[in-house]
């Protein structure tokens, strides 16, 4: 592994431990030339997942899009960064557990909405309003009623 500070290719692994609930390995490394330390992550390389968009275009799966969507929905909400990361990881695990080579973006959207329902109801409604493209206040109210009816049970 090349040192990000000096470019030297002689680095040593000091410590290794599981990361992201065992889905990757975190390695602390030390450069033999400059002595600085840095961290690398090792993940299993998977077959590229293709996402089928609403307009039938296809693009490669991008974890960052899920993360940005959840972060945007949770903006100024009392949700910790750790809980957001766990939610992103849970969504990603569920997506890959479908074991499909191509998945509709609508399927991923529904998975994200289900995860947000448990994380924060306001974040859920924010995400749903964009994802489901609410056309007017009535469709927005219908979604709110579903949440409120679920709480009364």
* 119: number of Cβ within 10 Å: 22
97-99-101-104 Cα dihedral, nearest 10 degrees? -50
Mean pLDDT over the full length of the chain: 89
Which pLDDT does position 104 carry in this prediction?
A: 95
Q: What is the mean pLDDT of residues 6-30?
A: 90
Alpha-carbon distance of 67 to 75, in angstroms, equals 12
Per the CB < 8 A criterion, the answer to whether 90 and 96 are in contact is no
Q: What is the mean pLDDT of residues 96-102?
A: 90
Which pLDDT does position 142 carry in this prediction?
A: 80
Which pLDDT does position 152 carry in this prediction?
A: 52
The model's pLDDT over 19-68, given as tens digits with 9 standing for 90+, comes to: 877 778 999 999 999 999 999 998 876 678 999 999 999 999 999 999 99
The model's pLDDT over 134-148, given as tens digits with 9 standing for 90+, comes to: 777 777 788 778 777
pLDDT band at 3 (very low <50, low <70, confident <90, very high): very high
State CA 89 to chain mean position distance: 5
Alpha-carbon distance of 20 to 90, in angstroms, equals 10
Length of the chain measured in residues: 153
Torsions phi, psi for 14 (to 5 deg): -95, -40
pLDDT band at 153 (very low <50, low <70, confident <90, very high): very low
Per the CB < 8 A criterion, the answer to whether 117 and 125 are in contact is no
HSE of 74, CA atoms in CB hemisphere, 13 A? 24
């Amino acid at each position: 592994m090349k040192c990000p500070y000096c470019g030297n290719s002689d680095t040593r692994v000091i410590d290794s431990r599981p990361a992201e609930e065992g889905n990757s390995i975190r390695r602390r490394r030390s450069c033999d030339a400059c002595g600085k330390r840095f961290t690398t992550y090792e993940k299993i390389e998977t077959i590229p997942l293709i996402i089928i968009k609403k307009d039938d275009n296809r693009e490669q799966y991008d974890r960052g899009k899920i993360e940005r969507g959840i972060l945007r929905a949770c903006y100024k909400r009392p949700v910790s960064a750790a809980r957001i990361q766990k939610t992103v990881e849970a969504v990603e695990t569920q997506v890959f557990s479908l074991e499909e080579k191509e998945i509709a973006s609508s399927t991923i959207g529904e998975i994200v909405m289900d995860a947000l329902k448990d994380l924060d109801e306001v974040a859920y409604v924010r995400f749903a309003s964009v994802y489901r493209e609410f056309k007017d206040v009535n469709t927005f109210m219908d979604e709110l009623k579903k949440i409120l009816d679920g709480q009364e049970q």
